[in-house]
Amino acid sequence: MAGYSKLRERMVADQIARRGVTSKLVLDAMRNVPRERFLPKGQGILAYDDSPLPIGKGQTISQPYVVAYMTESLALKGGERVLEIGTGSGYAAAVLAEIAAEVYTIERIERLATMASAVLDDLGYDNVHVQHSDGTLGWPEHAPFDGIVVAAGSSKVPAALKRQLKKGGHLVIPIGKNKWYQELVRVTRVAEDEFETEELLPVRFVPLVGEEG
């Protein structure tokens, strides 16, 4: 729809590029993915608001800027293998799929996993693989990953995810002691048993639930 296309362009210009996201790959991905398709019926008019939105089951679709910022923080160049924890609506997985060769995404709520998979399939994202399971344990069958992004807040970085990160790869995750405030951090694997961590941005995410959450 032409109206949504104009709203999408305005979103990228005003909400994302103006706030400092500069990666052409990320900006183009945000322009290409129809966010309205990942919202519950009747909420399409809100798709390009500068805010997170509810998608049911107590979960949200993240603010567009946060999706763009987290994607840029992975420093993808194109052609990578990426793991996402917290599929939610599937929107961020679609953005990642515009850049990466393969996206593996895990959702603990079965209904959300099923709905996200259906929308991604309908939009032709055949490089996105959705699994309903405990995301804190990762997806070891397809490791190591060039990048891992976690769309839920945790008090610590799950050890399983660190083990599944490729040397030189980045893991982006919200870390905090309560559900009202976290710090987005980027963990880089610099050697087999050596990781560097940097703080990026204050954020607020739903809690990471699971064995290592």
Catalytically annotated residues: 62
DSSP annotation string for 71-136? HHHTT--SS-EEEEE--TTSHHHHHHHTTSSEEEEEESSHHHHHHHHHHHHHTT-TTEEEEES-GG
DSSP 3-state of 196:
strand
User: Position of tokens 């909420």?
Assistant: 43
Question: Are 158 and 136 in contact, with CB atoms under 8 Å apart?
Answer: yes
